[in-house]
Amino acid sequence: MAETAKVTSQQSSDDPAGDTAGDAAGDTADGRRPAPRRSAVRSLLRLWPFVRPVRTRLFTAAFVAIVASCIGLVIPLVLKWLVDGPIADRDPAGAWLGGGYLLLLGLAEAGLFGLRRWLVARPLASVEAALRDSLYRHIQRLPVAFHDRWASGQLLSRGTTDLQLLRLFLAFPLTFLLVNATTIVVGCVILLVQRWSLGLVLLAPIVPLIALCSVFEARYAVAARRAQDQVGDVTTVVEESVLGIRIIKGFGRHRSQARAFRALTARLRTTELRKARLLATLWAFINALPELAIGAALVLGTVQVADGDLSAGTLVAFLSTALALMWPVESIGFLLAMSNDAAAATDRYFEVLDAPVADRDDAPAAPGSRPAAPVTEKAGLAFHDVTFRYPDAPAGAPPTLRGIDLHIRPGETLALVGATGSGKTTLTALVPRLYDATGGRITLDGTDITALTRDELRARVAVAFEEPTLFSATVAENILMGGADAGPDDLVRALRVAQAEGFVDALPDGRDTEVGEQGLSLSGGQRQRLALARAVVGRPRFLVLDDPLSALDVHTEALVEAALRQVLATTTALVVAHRPSTVLLADRVALLSGGRIAALGTHHELLRENAEYAALMSGAADGGSAVRREGKSVR
């Protein structure tokens, strides 16, 4: 948990000298290094497909903001007229008129900025919703191998914190980078027209500021990406600690977990302080250089006014325009920072969205994507020379499964038995295509499963895993997830098969009781029975069960087995079994050893003829009297 994340999280470095433009942002929590950093502009342009539907309102908002900003530059010109005209001529009526103009310009500027805010509020909420929806739908379609590599907190932070950064960028920096750039250009033209010599003095800091911003952008981009990756690590640790709170408390590990969490947050704090130092340095120069230029222009302008070469009104208008440009110039620092935060968030977002899915849910696998293998038309479930190697397995490691040839006839139940690590769970995961076989083929009633869409395949095949997963929903909703067309009668039947009617009816709201996150309000056996009910509720043609009765007591197990026999009589089933009582549900048994099918036959045949199987069964038989009788038959 936190200690693991503490070891694997390598994003930060306490050495500021290590932050260079060419540095990688560090390893992510899933052990991969991020993709090479592209420019902030290229990263942010990838958001365009999501922004396109609301572009009209966004462009209108930007235009309104530019008009409002330019109105602010008209105010110094009114001041010039006031000083050189009504004030110099001692004309009270003219002064009141000038004041009225200034009031109207101020109200217009404020009103237009309010209109801009109204224009962007609704469309940006729509953009954020579209981004979040696309990410969630894509995550659901990604293969299990992807989720094996990625920490859940990294995915969670991309769907929450990163999207909030993108919405903030679209609401403020995206518009005001354009608005402020336009304002600065228009303001500089006004300055040069009013007095070109003083204008050149004010424009002198432009070159050093551009160079400074370029260096800042490169360094800040690295720190921004590192900070966001570390937020993902912290999110992962918090999530794991909440889900694993029973383990932490049970083993008294709360202090060590807290120490590990503090180490992660200390790294994040170091990175955030690094970002703050960079931003503070930039702001110091962005504020100091223009202020020095304004001071120099004020001195030169005052001298020219004293010499009679410049009117007082022109100097007032010139300095007012320069001061009006201070905010657009000063804002460059944090606008660049926010833009780089958004660019890093965009890169992180598309790292997930760019991850390839095996194939679409509504389309079969692409032709030629799998090695060809001869297929014999067989009804039922058949494995033809199936081989599987995990994507992240070392290059020299042997495959997890090798040359699996197995045929489960229609209506037959086959028990899959083997020692821990023999590949039983992996083999069952290939049937619903949680993983794709790397060699050979799997067929259902003679049809290669890769020729079926995933929706078609999973409508035919139901699964129940040894570790049951329940969702924050009602009991009924959790069970009915197993059958798209299942109704109330199917729900009752499934609860009866899983022997779950009794405890479900005793819950506060019966079948409408919310089971809570991961179903942790229920016992392990209760969760397993609900998972079994979910597997059988849709009356699947093929059923894959991974040791579905392991958490049940002997009495409940016997009741479930009796009801399950009726279900197995009407379906084709592959059942991973560790106990002889579960094996006895099957018509035949396959022994998996070293990734291969080592023996195949009935339970009693294998007890007599295969020493490895007999040893497995006699070892599992030590827990109950019925099983001990099976052990005597071995002797």
Q: What is d(CA 529, CA 552) in angstroms, rounded to the nearest whole number?
A: 8
Give pLDDT, residue 18: 38
Contact between 11 and 30 (Cβ < 8 Å): no
The string of DSSP letters for 158-221 reads HHTHHHHHHHHHHHTHHHHHHHHHHHHHHHHHHHHHH-HHHHHHHHTTHHHHHHHHHHHHHHHH
Token pair in block for residue 473: 């929903």
Q: What is the pTM of this model?
A: 0.72
Low-confidence ranges of the chain (pLDDT < 70): 1-38, 89, 246, 251, 358-377, 517-518, 520, 551, 619-635
How far apart CA 203 and CA 123 sit, in angstroms, is 37
Instruction: Provide the 10 A C-beta neighbour count for residue 303.
Output: 11
Helix (H) or strand (E) holding 487: none
* pLDDT tens, residue by residue, 257-266: 888 888 888 9
pLDDT of residue 588: 93
Exposed, middle or buried by CB within 10 Å (0-12, 13-18, 19+), for 116?
Answer: buried
Closest CA to 357 of 346, 368, 365, 347: 365
Strand 572-576's sheet: what is its strand order?
461-464, 542-546, 572-576, 413-417, 588-593, 596-601
- Which tokens sit at 132? 């979040």
Are the beta carbons of 229 and 11 closer than 8 angstroms? yes
**Contact of 256 with 34, CB cutoff 8 Å:** no
End-to-end Cα, the chain, rounded Å: 46
Domains of the chain: residue spans and CATH = 2-27+37-353 (1.20.1560.10), 409-441+453-634 (3.40.50.300)
On whether the CB atoms of residues 532 and 498 are closer than 8 A, the answer is yes
Structure tokens belonging to residue 110: 């404020």
Contact 513, 503 (CB under 8 A): no
**Contact call for residues 583 and 626 (beta carbons, < 8 A):** no
pLDDT number for residue 360: 53
Q: What is the pLDDT of residue 386?
A: 94
The per-residue pLDDT for 209 is 81
In what order do the strands lie in the sheet containing 401-408? 401-408, 381-388, 439-444, 447-448
Rounded to an integer, what distance in angstroms lies between the CA atom of residue 323 and that of residue 333? 17
Q: What is the dihedral of CA 550, 551, 555, 559, to 10 degrees?
A: -70
Per-residue pLDDT tens for 583-592?
A: 888 899 999 9
Give me the residue label for tokens 């049951």: 468
Q: So what's the pLDDT on residue 559?
A: 77
DSSP string, 516-545: -GGGTTS-HHHHHHHHHHHHHTT--SEEEE
Residues 6+ apart with CB under 8 A from 88: 312, 313
Distances (CA, A) of 441 to 149, 385, 435, 494: 25, 7, 13, 32
Helices 326-353 and 152-159, packing angle to 10 deg: 140
